[in-house]
Amino acid sequence: MNGSAIPEVSWDIGESYAGLMPIGTSNSSLYFWFFPSPNQNATDEITIWLNGGPGCSSLEGFLQENGPFLWQYGTFKPVPNSWSWTKLTNMVWVEQPVGTGFTRGTPTAHSQEEAAAQFLGFLKNFIDTFGLQNKKIFLAGESYAGKYIPYFADAMLKKNDTAYNNVNGIMIYDPSIASDALLEQGMQIQHVPLLLDN
């Protein structure tokens, strides 16, 4: 992608690749935007960002939080992001599951396990396309990604294949990790002071 030809962006955002990548099990594809990092210390790793939803575009994280430029609500144009994660690591924002954002195909995943299987199909094709075998993989995200990421990491670990599934860490923040009803009950629990003997 031509880094100086992004609409409304008046500077060169650098090398990047975006498009649709097949998941391998159907005619469906996930949309991604990949930024190789200029950081020489990041050559052996990939960080994958997922937004939640379910069905929330990962471009929200890209445009509002950790991408190379930010286009905040109510502003007329994007601005450079001094804190872009691309400065630290090779970044790929992935829209998933099928039916989210710019993905293509008919949604067929009815569980976290099925979404994980489709994601791993995407990941293998992505890694083969860019020659990224044996890289450390970090999964990061927010909100409903708190449900996706543990299943994705579990599926990767079960593959026992470091060429394509070398998950080395996960990060989820402001996560949805249970049903809303359970989380609401948890929020209602009051803190009880702990008395300690001297």
- pLDDT, tens digit, 9 for 90 and up, residues 63-101: 999 999 999 888 899 999 999 999 999 999 999 999 999
Beta bridge partners of 79: 70
Q: Tell me which fold the domain 17-188 belongs to.
A: Rossmann fold (3.40.50)
Q: Tokens for 54, please give them.
A: 């379910």
Name the residue among 114, 98, 116, 108 with its Cα closest to residue 157.
Answer: 116
Give the C-alpha separation, 39 to 85, whole Å: 10
Look up the pTM and report it: 0.88
For 103-132, what is each residue's pLDDT tens digit? 999 999 999 999 999 999 999 999 999 999
Give backbone dihedrals phi and psi of 7, rounded to 5 degrees, phi first. -55, 135
Domain range list for the chain = 17-188
